Amino acid sequence: MNTPGIWAIYRFEMARFGRTFWGSVATPVITTALYFIVFGGAIGSRIDQVDGVDYGSFIVPGLVMLSLLTQSLSNASFGIYFPRFSGTIYEILSAPISTFELLVGYVGAASTKSILIGTIILVTSTFFVDLRIEHPAMMVAFLILTSVTFSLFGFIIGLWAKGFEQLSLVPALIVTPLTFLGGAFYSIDMLPEPWRTVSLFNPVVYLVSGFRWSFFGRGDVDVLVSLGATFAFLIICVAVVGWMFKTGYRLKS
């Protein structure tokens, strides 16, 4: 294991995050406050409880998950795209470091950043609602698993993208809408058929449901199904990244 190589990549990526730390912290804090004002205040005054949970508390896992997905994608995709854009990717590829070690450095840094932002949002939400976490170990497990999985997905986007426009295409047009439609701010049980059944084909439903279960002990789908779906997506992402490096897709041209 090339520990110095992994640490060099990880430290470089975290240093980039450190240069914009206060902006990175202020944005989720302000956004979270606005969500609670709009959703918690305006809508929450008309919705007393959802599945026995106060609406303000109910939306917290969805807020954290929304930030976790977008931050993981953007951090990982930009982290690997910029070396491609600047041409320094060839120095990285020629270094005595394996694909696995390269992934640990980049994905580890992106996951760390998104977990930090998610934790900040979680702490900020406690100033607005009374929050309980019934299964803290599972909450941490979902937090880490989701951040790693979508950091890998972001890594794939960073290798696939030909320009900065494509870099933001998938998060803006696919991931964010799927998160809003994935039960982040409501329970899919509130939907009439056939829309509830259609929602089950949205992979984000399983992420949000599993994460919400760790807070309140209840979710839209079984927690084991949520874990299985997340692990399946993780395996797919690992396989795609492995294929990209094996074939040199968008790396050697």
Q: Please name the residue that has the structure tokens 């698993």.
A: 145
- Percent share of the chain, pLDDT over 70: 94
Q: What pLDDT digit, counting tens, does each position of 59-72 carry?
A: 889 889 988 888 88
DSSP codes, 134-185? S-HHHHHHHHHHHHHHHHHHHHHHHHH-SSHHHHHHHIIIIIHHHHHTTTSS
37 with 112: CB under 8 angstroms?
A: no
- What is the spatial distance between Cα 184 and Cα 204, in angstroms, rounded to a whole number? 9
What's the chain's average pLDDT? 85
246, HSE (Cβ side, Cα atoms, 13 Å): 6
Q: What is the mean pLDDT of residues 32-52?
A: 72
- What is each CA distance from 185 to 19, 112, 127, 221, 228, in whole angstroms? 32, 25, 19, 15, 23
Q: Backbone phi, then psi, for 200, in 5-degree steps?
A: -70, -15
Residue 43 is predicted with a pLDDT of 66
Neighbouring C-beta atoms of residue 43, cutoff 10 Å: 14
Does pLDDT of 211 surpass 90?
yes
The interaxial angle of helices 223-247 and 203-216, nearest 10 deg, is: 130
Note the pTM of the prediction, 2 decimals. Answer: 0.88
Long-range own/partner contacts, residues 36-45 (CB < 8 A, 24 or more apart):
36/125, 36/128, 36/129, 39/185, 40/128, 40/129
Hey, what are 41's tokens?
């205040």
Per-residue confidence band for 172, with pLDDT thresholds at 50, 70 and 90: confident
- What is each CA distance from 17 to 24, 152, 230, in whole angstroms? 8, 18, 26
Residue 115 is predicted with a pLDDT of 92
Strands 53-54 and 49-50: antiparallel
